[in-house]
Structure 1
Amino acid sequence: MTEPLNILSRVNRSKDTIDDDLDVYADSDDYRAFGYSRKPVSSDPMINFIDSTGNQSAFAYGHLYQTKFDPSEGITIEFTEHVVSIRGRRLGEAFAKLVSQRVVFVAEADRPTAVLVPDDLPVVTRLEIADKKERPSPR
């Protein structure tokens, strides 16, 4: 009698390959501005925003309303009730992955870390989350 296969075995995937599909933020890891999902279809329903002090806020992709990218200004993400502003350098690839719902975390670097990140890698130098109710409306 053979043992029944679990669902991971049936789709020819192990827990190790699933872990490789998703970047996870850890304080002890080297700095990375963004974490990505490499799953064929995005099933990660939230983006985790981590400021340079380690505080974290996560927002559901289902509440994402609009994203904008201006290379000189950065990325602006508008959710139903919040606006997130991301400033830094080399943010273009992250914006493309954000639009396809592949970004799982955004991490702001503290000043010493930002200076050490090589110029050819992305770095988030400022991360701001504002409640839409507190923002003045544009005139």
Structure 2
Amino acid sequence: MTERRSILSGSTFEDEFGYARAVVDGDHIYVSGTTGFDYSTMTISEDVAEQAAQCLRTIAAALAEAGCTLADVVRVRYLLPDPADFALCGPVLREAFGTVRPAATMLVCGLLDKRMRIEIEVDAVRRG
């Protein structure tokens, strides 16, 4: 039987909206859209590049709990209200994924809270 389990980050959003930070289903890990909030303090930087870095720290922690790293990411989705902010995140994203080169999509859309300037969602595959 395939392993399926949820990974929680402690975000109040997970309880409020009934989801998990990540779901492990066999060797596949699906990480929910993750914003720049430091979920331990529920604070968020105004700087979009710092928000992107915080997104990646939260995602990396969820992946670690699933037995993976950012190097195992095969798909990434970036969601931003302002497309001009994407270029400001470039150095942070390149540092995380420049050698990994996952399939990627960037979408322009509204986010739940006006302080949120980026949301990142990833899929990863655990290697044996």
- TM-score, normalised via structure 2 length: 0.32
Higher relative contact order (CA 8 A, sep 6+): 2
Structure having the higher helix fraction is 2
